[in-house]
Amino acid sequence: MEGNIAELGKYIGVGLTAIGMGGAAIGVGNVAGNYLAGALRNPSAAASQTATLFIGMAFAEALGIFSFLVALLLMFAV
């Protein structure tokens, strides 16, 4: 284990990549929060927009999943 620079870099890289998931978390929170804000202002229009909410959350989340995937690849496959 000692002196293995490649191993060290790998784990640092995994940690850094995992930070990317925080961005996705912020994004998903933004989507949900703005949806809630809009829904409270106009509750009658909220029900028709739940599909859009989930699509938006899915898109925001997908990028976080990408960074998760990169982290996994770094950790297990590289």
Binding residue for other proteins, selected from 16, 19, 36, 62, defined by CB under 8 A: 62
CA–CA gap between residue 77 and residue 72 (Å, rounded) = 7
Q: Considering the rule CB under 8 A, would residue 77 count as an interface residue with other proteins?
A: yes
Q: Is 46 in the site for other proteins (CB under 8 A)?
A: no
CA distance 27 to 54: 13
Does 61 help bind other proteins (rule: CB under 8 A)?
yes
Per CB under 8 A, does 49 bind other proteins? no
C-beta separation of 68 from 23 below 8 A: no
Task: Locate the DSSP E strands across 13-60.
Answer: none
Contact residues toward other proteins (CB under 8 A) are: 51, 54-55, 57-59, 61-62, 65-66, 68-69, 72-73, 75-77
